[in-house]
């Protein structure tokens, strides 16, 4: 039960990390970085690193359990990740200056790959 709660906490940390990317278009980057820019960076890196550490702990713990078959949800999240990768290429080529499109795509890209591993651990911990 504690491992499942750790996995959910990891998913929440990944969501906080990824959703901090959606704040970037609203930040002011004129002359120097404001406190809000540092706060967004702290949210991103803090959530990402904490979630990764928890996932590593869960990975080591899940090695003891038997392998499970891929669920439909995990496959859908994998497809969303691939679509995000293919959409990122034209965004970088044609709309590089559009901060909104880039941050939304990066949010989807990072969140889908992070949630893929959260779902994978959830399947192992059933």
Rounded-to-integer distance, Cα 93 and Cα 122, Å: 37
Which sequence spans correspond to the domains of the chain?
A: 2-124
Render pLDDT for 1-44 as a digit per residue (tens, 0 to 9): 788 889 899 999 999 999 998 988 888 777 677 788 888 889 99
Query: Residue 121: is it exposed, middle or buried by C-beta count within 10 angstroms (0-12/13-18/19+)?
Result: buried
Tell whether pTM > 0.95. no
Helix or strand run (H / E) with residue 53: helix 35-62
């Amino acid at each position: 039960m504690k491992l499942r709660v750790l996995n959910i906490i990891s998913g929440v940390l990944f969501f906080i990390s990824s959703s901090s990317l959606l704040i970037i278009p609203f930040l002011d980057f004129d002359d120097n970085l404001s406190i809000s820019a540092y706060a967004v960076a702290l949210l991103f890196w803090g959530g990402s690193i904490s979630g990764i550490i928890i996932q590593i702990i869960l990975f080591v713990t899940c090695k003891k359990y038997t392998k499970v078959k891929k669920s439909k949800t995990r496959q859908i999240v994998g497809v969303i990740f691939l679509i995000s990768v293919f959409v990122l290429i034209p965004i970088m080529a044609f709309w590089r200056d559009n901060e909104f499109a880039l941050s939304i795509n990066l949010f989807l890209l990072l969140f889908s790959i992070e949630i893929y591993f959260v779902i994978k651990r959830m399947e192992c911990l059933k």
